[in-house]
Amino acid sequence: MTCHNCRIECKRKGKDRKGNQRYQCRQCSKTFQEPREKPLEGMYLPVEKAEQVLKLLVEGASISSIERVTEVHHGTILKLLVLVGEKCNKLMGRLIVNVPVTDVQADEIWGFIQKKEAHKWPWEENDNSIGDAYCFVAIERNSKLVLNFALGPRSQATTDIFIEGLRAATAPYRFQITTDGFAPYVSAITTTLSDRCDFAQLIKVYASPREGDHRYSPADVVEALPKPIMGDPDRAKICTSHVERQNLTIRMQMRRLTRLTNAFSKKWENLWAAYCLHFAWYNFVRRHQSLRMTPAMAAGITNHMWTIRELLEAA
């Protein structure tokens, strides 16, 4: 090591609290540390340690448990999550474009940030960064590829953004799309996808709660009514079972969506980054049990199963 000012050789001068070697100039007595690599855009965290943290995140571990296992500070874990989430979002936006599809299903999964919608104060009523946060998800039935997702309130505006993103993700060939009975889908899909899809909704009729049922028990589904909306959808394919099964995978693999815990997101950007990481991992890294390959391989986007390291480097 040489001094930055005097340009002469320096001597060793102990180590800092993290064990990094320090040096002292023999002439001006200035002490400094040897330059360290920053492989993750300004973060000192080694790539191997970052890979370990990401593996635990996508397997549903909480921030606190990851901190105990890896001895990485929770602030560093959250910073890494946001950084990789942004990269994964750009990666999917670059690769999942004009994908040929035949059967698409869409649904929403509920979550919340800081507090549930009913617990917001009057002055927080118009603040969408806290309260209920619905993730709209579109999945291809055959390849199980997540084509697009959007995060926001369960509103017409979020639905429109979600369907516009779905249009960019799909090739301009005819396909069928099925959603639940959420009314904003009708105007969004008939306006944005009228030239390329047959559209139907599966409207579920729920029974009233039985006396003595637990407050968190879901109501029984009495009937599921297929309702063609646009074009000529195949009634045998009017189904949302696959995307609803995908919702179960999301809740199992994302600790933030575990019910009745204190692991929920406190910031919108953290929840968004967690979704981006999960869907990129699901599409490119995770081997689907029924397909025996990743959804991206089944859709012809990639030719091999990626690793977390490849996902980190490609993003």
Predicted local confidence at residue 38, as pLDDT: 60
Kindly report the pTM of this predicted structure.
0.87
Model confidence at 180, in pLDDT bands (50, 70, 90)? Answer: very high
Residue 277 in this model has a pLDDT that exceeds 90: yes
Widest Cα–Cα separation across the chain:
85
Q: Strand, helix or coil at 283?
A: helix
Choice between 1 and 266, residue whose per-residue pLDDT is larger:
266
Predicted local confidence at residue 185, as pLDDT: 96
Choice between 218 and 153, residue whose per-residue pLDDT is larger:
153
Are 247 and 278 in contact, with CB atoms under 8 Å apart?
no
Tell me the average pLDDT across 245-260: 93
Residue 26 in this model has a pLDDT that exceeds 90: no
Percent over 70 (pLDDT), the chain: 95
Residue 217 in this model has a pLDDT that exceeds 80: no
Model confidence at 32, in pLDDT bands (50, 70, 90)? Answer: confident
Order the strands of the 221-230 sheet from edge to edge. Answer: 146-152, 131-140, 103-113, 175-179, 197-206, 221-230
**pLDDT tens digit string along 123-175?**
998 888 999 999 999 999 999 999 999 999 999 999 999 999 999 999 999 99
- Angstrom distance (rounded) from CA 204 to CA 207: 10
- Angstrom distance (rounded) from CA 179 to CA 227: 10
Are 147 and 170 in contact, with CB atoms under 8 Å apart?
yes
Predicted local confidence at residue 22, as pLDDT: 85
Structure tokens at 314: 């490609």
Tell me the average pLDDT across 204-233: 78
Average per-residue pLDDT in the chain?
90
- Angstrom distance (rounded) from CA 126 to CA 258: 26
**Poorest-confidence range of 19-33, 87-101, 118-132, 190-204?**
19-33
- Count the helix, strand and coil residues of the chain and give each as a percent rounded to the nearest 5: 35, 25, 40
Residues in contact with 120: Cβ distance below 8 Å, sequence separation at least 6, in sequence order: 127, 130, 131
